[in-house]
Every structure is written in structure tokens, then in C-alpha cells.
Amino acid sequence: MRRINKDQRARIALTLNGRKLSADAEPRTLLCDFLRQGLGATGTHVGCEHGICGACTVLIDGVAVRSCLTLAVQAEGREVKTVESLAAPDGALNPLQTAFRANHALQCGFCTPGILMSFTDYLARNSKPTGAEIREVLSGHLCRCTGYAGIVKAVEEVASISAPAKAGEGDHA
């Protein structure tokens, strides 16, 4: 049984975007703060801190979750992917990011990392979503700039050009 006392800082190790990393955290440390402050991965944004806005959405073992509603210690030993994992090492954007840029699916960009991670998970399960399905997934995010139309268009565009989903991605395929 894993036990950590409240005044204790424990070593939390996880795989972040393919690299095994670790840092110290208290039991109450949220995963979003651990990623940003413990591991220096500041691509994940922290918005409402109670699961409403979706800005902090990351993948844990391939599944999109709110990192503000996840304790760092809950991600111990798991595979975490953040927005930093999407572009190629040389900075070339992936197809979803490219479609976001082409369709003005972002303005200030605060909500964008979370939205990209949600659709990274969703499109892996359902590569040909309907407009209604895209809107339903998007309902888990707040964007105050775009009015959402550009985001829906970007996802529709990337879905129309993408290859069929890889089978067995995550455990919900």
C-alpha cells in the first residue's frame, strides 16, 4: 500500500511525453501543478481548478482527463501526455494543430492545449465524428475567444483527411 503523510514530500515518477521523469510532491499537489512546477512542462494551462473549463486536460494512459481533478500521486507510474507531445521535435505542427491554425480555431490560446488533448483522445476512438459528436466533446471546454465555430471546423477538417483510427488505442476503443 502506498501511503504519504500530509507534511511529507514524496518522489513521484511518471512518464511524460515518452520521458521518465520524477519530482517531489505533497499528497495534495494537483497533477496540473506538478506538471508545470515540478516537471517544468508549462504547456498545460490551469484555468478554473474545479473541472469546468477543460484548459488543463491531458492524457493519462491515452485517456483525456482533467489534470486539475487528478492528484499528482494518482498519475504515479502512468503515462502522461501533454500538448508538448503533439508537434514534431523540429516544431512542425501535427495535423490537428495545423487544422487549428488554418481555421482560426484559437485566438488567445489559453484553452487550446486542453482542447487539442481532448480531440487527440476522441479522434483516436472515433476518426469520423459527426458535427454533433464534435460539439459534445467540445462542450467539456470553455473558449472565450473563438465562438467555437473555428474549432468545430478544424476538427471536421482533420477528421476528413485522417486515416482510420488505430485500433486498440487506449482501453476504450
d(CA 166, CA 102): 25
Nearer to other proteins, 22 or 139 (CB): 139
Interface map 2-21 toward other proteins (x if CB under 8 A): xxxxxx--------------
Under a CB-based contact definition with an 8 Å cutoff, are residues 64 and 55 in contact?
no
Q: How many CB atoms lie within 10 A of CB 68?
A: 24
Binding flag, residue 159, other proteins (CB under 8 A): no
Q: Of 161, 87, 88, whose CA–CA distance to 127 is shortest?
A: 161
Binding flag, residue 65, other proteins (CB under 8 A): yes
Give the HSE-up count for residue 150: Cα atoms under 13 Å, Cβ half-sphere: 18
Among 15, 51, 110, 152, binds other proteins (CB under 8 A): 51
Candidates 16-24, 69-77, 85-93, 97-105; binding stretch for other proteins (CB under 8 A): 69-77
Binding flag, residue 79, other proteins (CB under 8 A): no
Residue type, 30: L
Binding flag, residue 73, other proteins (CB under 8 A): yes
